[in-house]
Amino acid sequence: MQHDYDENLATNRYFDRKFGLEAAKILPGEYFVSRDEMAIVTVLGSCIAACLWDRFMRIGGMNHFMLPDGDSSDVSGRYGSYAMELLINEMLKLGARRESMQAKIFGGA
Distance CA 71, CA 94 (A): 29
Residue 86: partners with Cβ closer than 8 Å, 6 or more residues away:
6, 8, 31, 63, 77
> In which element (H, E) is residue 65 found?
strand 59-65
What amino acid positions are annotated as catalytic residues?
47
Question: CA–CA separation, 33 vs 36, rounded Å?
Answer: 9
Please choose, from the candidates 98, 83, 6, the residue with its C-alpha nearest in 3D space to the C-alpha of residue 49: 83
